Amino acid sequence: MNADEKAIFDYLKACPRTFISGREIARKVWGKPRYEEDRYWAVPILAAMVTRNWLETDCAGCFRIKPEERKKNKLRRHVSPQILRILKSSGKTFDSIVIENDDEDTLTHIPASKTLYPTGGRSNL
Q: What is the pLDDT of residues 63-109, one digit of tens each?
A: 999 988 766 655 666 778 888 788 888 887 766 666 565 555 444 44
**Which residues, in sequence order, are CB contacts of 16 under 8 Å at separation 6+?**
64, 65, 67
As a whole number of angstroms, the distance between CA 9 and CA 29 comes to: 10
Residue 100 within a domain: no
pLDDT exceeds cutoff 70 at 119: no
Residue 20 within a domain: yes
Residue 87 within a domain: no
Structure confidence at residue 114 as a pLDDT band (50, 70, 90): very low
Give the count of domains, the chain. 1
Residue 71 within a domain: no
First to last CA, the chain: 61
Domain that holds residue 25: 3-65
Residue 106 within a domain: no
CATH number assigned to the domain comprising residue 19: 1.10.10.10
